[in-house]
Amino acid sequence: MEDQTRKKRRILPWLAIGSSVLALSILLYLLFMPLDLTRYAPRIESIIESRVDGEVRLGRVVLKVLPSPDLEVSRLEVLHEGEALFHVDRAHARLSLLPLIRGHAVFQKLELANPYLLLKRYDDRTLNISRFLKVERPPEEDRERRAFVKTLGLRNSGGLYRRAS
């Protein structure tokens, strides 16, 4: 009887260590592996559309949390008043983790493959982007709300600027 108690005492610490290592390994695996959020694209689109004046269409959405937040979206299209305001085949953004925790968006890298942007200036001197984002007045200088981009990569980009009639 005493031998069985000794064996249990020797095995229990190893079981605790083994289960802790297993749980930690699973957690690290989940944090470092990319998460495919494509099935949530309609929900993400509706959240964005509730805050802007237009439509947003997303293709494939992949998020990676660590070592730094990484987001890749394919076939992104933004529509305003029935016409394409912006579209891109693939957008890849990597943010710095520490500034993001503090509430600041610092893009380490922002890559856009085949982007297209349509800018329109209306008679009241507003841009279609301002109307899409529902900006009522020009933003005041506010350093706390700015986003910084350290590296910007554009491949096969195009754009059009015109006055709205």
Q: Which own/partner contact pairs does 85-93 have at CB distance under 8 Å and 24+ positions apart?
A: 85/54, 85/117, 85/118, 85/128, 85/129, 85/132, 86/115, 86/116, 86/117, 86/118, 87/115, 87/116, 88/112, 88/113, 88/114, 88/115, 88/116, 89/113, 89/114, 90/114, 91/115
According to the model, what pLDDT value does residue 145 have?
57
Parts of the chain with a pLDDT under 50: none
In this prediction, residue 165 carries a pLDDT of 60
Confidence at residue 43, expressed as pLDDT on a 0 to 100 scale = 94
The pLDDT, as a whole number, for residue 126 is 81
Domain positions in the chain = 1-33, 35-163
Could you read off the pLDDT of 136-151 as tens digits, one per residue?
765 555 555 566 666 6
Q: What is the CA radius of gyration of the chain?
A: 24
Q: What pTM does this model have?
A: 0.66
Q: Write down the pLDDT at residue 45.
A: 92
69: cis peptide before it, omega within 30°?
Answer: no
| pLDDT at residue 133, rounded to an integer | 83
- By three-state DSSP, how is residue 132 classified? helix
pLDDT digits over 98-128, tens only? 888 888 888 888 888 888 888 888 888 888 8
- 44 touches 58 (CB < 8 A): yes
What does the pLDDT read at residue 117?
A: 85
- What was the pLDDT predicted at 62? 93
pLDDT at 83: 85
